[in-house]
Amino acid sequence: MTDADAVRRVGLALPRSYEREVRGRWKLRVGQIVYVAFSGDELSMGFGFPKAERAGLIASDPETFFLPPTSDLRYQWVCAHLPRLDEQEMRELVTDAWRMCTPRMLHDLPDLPAPAMAAYGFLDAGEYGELRPLLHPYLHFTDRDVSLRGRSNVLDWLREHRVKPPTAVEVRDGQIYRWSR
């Protein structure tokens, strides 16, 4: 069983994601694209889902999943009753909906250890002060032919260069010790 607050925790932890209220209903977005929208009472949510697979999802559990209003059937969208979803299923649905509206280079971030997604989110937003505590003082950073050691050296380099998300990280003491791409 899950609720709207749990959905928010998952969604807002994803890079480039934010929440807005539109006509009395809260929505999670990436840019201008909505990937999760709550009902007015927040007991159900609509979320991005491939149209080709929508009928199969609804048929798999019609008590949980249902079609959006007729006006929204043209979109890649399906709805679910939140109290009928378990935490793991909700996390997968929200993350997959987020993946539908983000660049492919970000898709593996939710599968990396916890600080990696937050660190890249701060890096992507240019919030280096928030990024610093997530990086180990003896950080080993490798991005193709660039190899740096030490948090301060890496932060100085990152301020001058755009990088793609890491493909692998090693975490020590809750901080990223090794960042590789």
Query: pLDDT tens, 1-30?
Result: 899 999 999 999 999 999 999 888 999 999
pLDDT band at 99 (very low <50, low <70, confident <90, very high): very high
If you average pLDDT over every residue of the chain, what do you get? 95
Give span(s): CATH 3.90.1150.30, the chain: 4-102
| pTM as predicted | 0.88
Residue 176, C-beta contacts closer than 8 angstroms, at least 6 positions apart: 115, 116, 119, 134, 135, 136, 139, 169, 170
Q: What's the pLDDT score for residue 114?
A: 87
CATH class of residue range 4-102? alpha beta
Q: Does domain 109-180 have CATH number 1.20.120.1200?
A: no
